[in-house]
């Protein structure tokens, strides 16, 4: 056992930290929140220059060929700094292409992803808002060599700037998990319309409507009717990714709170001298550190190809609440100053809500854990 990062990972971590600190200051974060797009093409190009979008893309497709765990090292730094935009949407949509894409699809898309030329997202959730196969009702009907897609997707991350949408559709009305098919759809195809939903984190989740959208059969990702296991893998990897990103954010909330508690004087002493606050900060740190190693364990298992549905769900369920509670306490320990939008802590608190629901809520993942520990 060796729970340290490798030397390359340490280098990646440090360079990501330095890059984000200079290239993605909080002024940009706020500007992007307020803008309609929520995406900075300039920043995106610089990130592409560092090879980030191609981090997990194999070298044969012009990527860097790093592991999933290497990716989580980068994601933690993105969480620590906050990086708005379509990075996570693109990377999580890359997983299913790597896993199930045809050679033609990989050759077409992966080099462009790695170069930062295209943005991807995955359209999964619908009206029910739950991550299970039964709630997929957007329909893809065969018509000659094509399929025609109809229906509405919700909460689609950054769909309004995406070039391609991986759409999870129903192609067969049989058992819920048996008739799911994934399509890679060019976002400019006629019949697709998109509207940004106003969210707590201003993170540009979209409603995407498909009206008689015609997609060639060759755009099926994986096999007809057999898409659900691909979705499950995406959800699991997405959950771990989001979790590690949250750990970075939690770390910042704690760092800022501890620093402020040393500085802010009330009753002739730094507020950090009050034991009531010291214990609270010690609890926050303990919650982070347990969540951190739980998330690292899940990331390591995923990266090593070990089955880890249970660990991934444990990590997501646990870290969801840690992020929410720590960022809430960060505000309370700061006092009024951190209830103002000018302060950075609310940027994190509001994102804890987004992190909570993305790739499965606490209750959703607890149910998976309940099944995995043998509750009949």
Ligand X SMILES: Cc1cc2nc3c(=O)[nH]c(=O)nc-3n(C[C@H](O)[C@H](O)[C@H](O)COP(=O)(O)OP(=O)(O)OC[C@H]3O[C@@H](n4cnc5c(N)ncnc54)[C@H](O)[C@@H]3O)c2cc1C
Quick note: the x/- pattern for other proteins over 129-168, rule CB under 8 A, is: xx-x-xx------------------xx-------------
Q: For residue 279, state whether it binds ligand X (rule: CB under 6 A).
A: no
Q: For residue 274, state whether it binds ligand X (rule: CB under 6 A).
A: yes
Residue 58 or 346: the one with the smaller Cβ distance to other proteins is 346
Among the listed residues 44, 11, 180, the one whose alpha carbon sits nearest the alpha carbon of residue 120: 44
Q: For residue 333, state whether it binds ligand X (rule: CB under 6 A).
A: yes
Residue 145 or 342: the one with the smaller Cβ distance to other proteins is 342
Residue 62 or 344: the one with the smaller Cβ distance to ligand X is 344
Binding segment for ligand X (CB under 6 A), chosen from 9-17, 144-152, 237-245, 329-337, is: 329-337
Q: For residue 201, state whether it binds other proteins (rule: CB under 8 A).
A: yes
Among the listed residues 349, 122, 113, the one whose alpha carbon sits nearest the alpha carbon of residue 246: 349
317's contact among ligand X, other proteins, none, with CB below 5 to 8 A by partner kind, is none
Q: For residue 194, state whether it binds other proteins (rule: CB under 8 A).
A: no
In the bound complex, what is the minimum distance in angstroms from residue 280's beta carbon to other proteins? Answer: 9
71 in helix, strand or coil? Answer: helix
Residue 2 or 267: the one with the smaller Cβ distance to ligand X is 267
Whole-Å CA distances, 81 to 20, 22, 167, 250, 351? 7, 10, 30, 10, 12
- How far is it, in rounded angstroms, from Cα 299 to Cα 311? 9
Q: For residue 266, state whether it binds ligand X (rule: CB under 6 A).
A: yes
Please state whether beta strands 120-123 and 164-170 pair in parallel, antiparallel, or not at all (unpaired). parallel
Torsion of CA 367, 372, 375, 376, to 10 degrees: 100
Among 1, 188, 267, 342, binds ligand X (CB under 6 A): 267
Which helix H or strand E contains 205, and what residues bound it?
strand 205-216
Burial class (CB in 10 A: 0-12, 13-18, 19+), 113: buried
| Residues 355, 318 contacting (CB under 8 angstroms) | no
Binding segment for other proteins (CB under 8 A), chosen from 68-76, 82-90, 198-206, 222-230, is: 198-206
Longest dimension (CA), the chain: 79
- How far is it, in rounded angstroms, from Cα 207 to Cα 255? 36
Torsion of CA 95, 106, 125, 159, to 10 degrees: 110
Which residues, 6+ apart, have CB-to-CB distance to 8 below 8 Å? 70
In the bound complex, what is the minimum distance in angstroms from residue 329's beta carbon to ligand X? Answer: 9
Q: For residue 277, state whether it binds ligand X (rule: CB under 6 A).
A: yes
Among 200, 212, 304, 371, binds other proteins (CB under 8 A): 200
Among 193, 212, 286, 339, binds ligand X (CB under 6 A): 339
- How far is it, in rounded angstroms, from Cα 283 to Cα 3? 23
Q: For residue 262, state whether it binds ligand X (rule: CB under 6 A).
A: no
What is the contact surface with ligand X in residues (CB under 6 A)? 264, 266-267, 271, 274, 276-277, 332-333, 335-336, 339
What is the contact surface with other proteins in residues (CB under 8 A)? 125, 128-130, 132, 134-135, 154-155, 197-201, 205, 207, 265-267, 274, 276-277, 324, 328, 331-332, 335-336, 338-343, 346, 349-350, 353-354, 356-357, 361-363
């Amino acid at each position: 056992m060796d729970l340290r990062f490798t030397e390359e990972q340490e280098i990646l971590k440090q360079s990501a930290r330095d890059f984000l600190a200079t290239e993605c200051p909080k002024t940009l974060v706020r500007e992007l929140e307020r803008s309609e797009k929520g995406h900075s093409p300039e920043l995106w190009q610089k990130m592409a220059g560092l090879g980030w979008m191609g981090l997990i893309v194999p070298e044969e497709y012009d990527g860097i060929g790093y592991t999933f765990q290497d990716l989580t090292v980068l994601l933690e730094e993105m969480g620590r700094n906050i990086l708005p935009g379509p990075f996570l949407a693109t990377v999580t949509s890359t997983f299913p292409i790597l896993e199930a894409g045809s050679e033609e699809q990989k050759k077409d898309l992966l080099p462009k992803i790695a170069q930062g030329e295209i943005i991807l997202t995955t359209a999964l959730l619908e009206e029910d808002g739950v991550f299970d196969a039964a709630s997929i009702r957007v329909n893809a009907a065969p018509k000659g060599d094509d399929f025609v897609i109809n229906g509405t997707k919700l909460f689609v991350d950054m769909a309004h700037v995406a070039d391609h949408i991986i759409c999870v559709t129903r192609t067969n009305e049989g058992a819920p998990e048996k008739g799911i098919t994934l399509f890679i759809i060019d976002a400019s195809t006629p019949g697709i319309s998109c509207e940004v939903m106003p969210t707590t984190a201003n993170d540009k989740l979209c409603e995407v409507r498909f009206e008689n959208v015609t997609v060639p059969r060759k755009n099926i990702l994986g096999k007809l009717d057999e898409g659900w296991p691909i979705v499950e893998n995406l959800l699991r990897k997405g959950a771990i990714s989001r979790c590690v990103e949250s750990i970075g954010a939690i770390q910042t909330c704690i760092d800022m709170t501890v620093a402020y508690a040393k500085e802010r004087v009330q009753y002739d002493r730094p507020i950090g001298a009050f034991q009531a606050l010291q214990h609270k900060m010690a609890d926050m740190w303990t919650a982070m550190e347990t969540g951190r190693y739980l998330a690292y364990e899940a990331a390591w298992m995923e990266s090593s190809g070990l089955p880890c549905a249970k660990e991934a769900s444990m990590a997501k369920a646990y870290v969801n609440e840690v992020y929410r509670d720590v960022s809430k306490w960060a505000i309370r320990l700061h006092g009024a100053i951190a209830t103002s939008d000018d302060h950075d802590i609310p940027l994190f608190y509001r994102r804890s809500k987004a992190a909570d629901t993305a790739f499965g809520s606490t209750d959703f993942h607890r149910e998976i854990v309940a099944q995995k520990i043998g509750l009949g």
